[in-house]
């Protein structure tokens, strides 16, 4: 019994070894017979190969050779378009009036020869009627970038404190300062000019306002006395 078992085990081991050897030989022969794998081609290379395969034999090439440069034209500018001379101590006359006149004539020509809505919008943008892109709420306010907010808001310090004002006039000027502080459309210089205008307007009328206030007080006292006597 033991002899039979040992014989079957030997046969199984021999069969396994034989199968491994056959498998290794098959793999080696498959690798030798398989062609080498080509590198992946790009889309442009495949397109060139397809074009070359689709062209018939003896076809004329479409791309022509580039001509040689003859250099028959010089690089001298046309008369009147010469570049400005270098600043080497020479006096260069430059009148900006003619530049402004040319710009005005060009803008007038553009405004008269508007062909469509797009050119009209472009002209409005150049004239300052439309916002320039990118849109900024502070366009053309270059001087205001260096102005602090205190010059826009705290305007009471710009009032004239040397002369005493009547109470109604002082209250009115406080309201003017509050209104100008809340105005986003005026710069600081314009707000100061508004305050100066009001100061100059009421400068010679302070006496009249004071007299009107005293008269109102006198009338109020007389009215109070009349009411007291009637009671």
Asked if 155 and 195 count as a contact pair (C-beta separation under 8 A), the reply is yes
pLDDT on residue 110: 66
| Helix (DSSP H) and strand (DSSP E) numbers for the chain | 8, 0
Query: SS3 for 98?
Result: helix
Separation of alpha carbons 107 and 14, rounded Å: 103
Identify which of 183, 133, 129 has the alpha carbon closest to the alpha carbon of residue 155: 183
Asked if 178 and 160 count as a contact pair (C-beta separation under 8 A), the reply is no
pLDDT on residue 209: 86
**Domain ranges (residues) in the chain:** 95-137, 149-230
pLDDT on residue 21: 74
pLDDT on residue 175: 92
Using 70 as the pLDDT threshold, list the residues of the chain that sit under it.
1-12, 14-15, 18, 22, 25-44, 51-64, 73-94, 109-112, 231
pLDDT on residue 177: 92
pLDDT on residue 35: 53
Residues 6+ apart with CB under 8 A from 152: 181, 188, 191
């Amino acid at each position: 019994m033991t002899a039979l078992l040992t014989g079957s085990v030997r046969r199984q081991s021999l069969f396994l070894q034989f199968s491994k050897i056959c498998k290794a030989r098959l793999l080696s022969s498959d690798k030798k017979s398989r062609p080498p794998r080509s590198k992946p081609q790009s889309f442009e290379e495949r397109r060139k190969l397809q074009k070359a395969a689709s062209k018939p034999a003896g076809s004329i090439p479409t791309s022509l050779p580039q001509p040689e440069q003859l250099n028959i034209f010089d690089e001298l500018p046309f008369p009147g378009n010469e570049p400005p001379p270098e600043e080497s101590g020479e006096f260069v006359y430059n009148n900006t009036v003619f530049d402004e006149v040319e710009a005005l004539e060009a803008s007038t020509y553009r405004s008269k020869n508007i062909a469509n809505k797009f050119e009209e919008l472009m002209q409005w943008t150049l004239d300052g009627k439309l916002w320039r892109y990118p849109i900024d709420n502070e366009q053309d306010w270059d001087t205001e970038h260096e102005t602090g907010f205190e010059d826009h808001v705290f305007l009471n310090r710009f009032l004239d404190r040397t002369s005493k004002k009547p109470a109604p006039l002082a209250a009115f000027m406080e309201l003017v300062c509050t209104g100008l502080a809340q105005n986003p459309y005026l710069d600081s210089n314009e707000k100061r000019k508004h305050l100066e205008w009001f100061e100059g307007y009421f400068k010679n009328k302070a006496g009249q306002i004071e007299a009107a206030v005293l008269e109102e007080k006198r009338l109020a006292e007389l009215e109070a006395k009349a009411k007291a006597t009637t009671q």
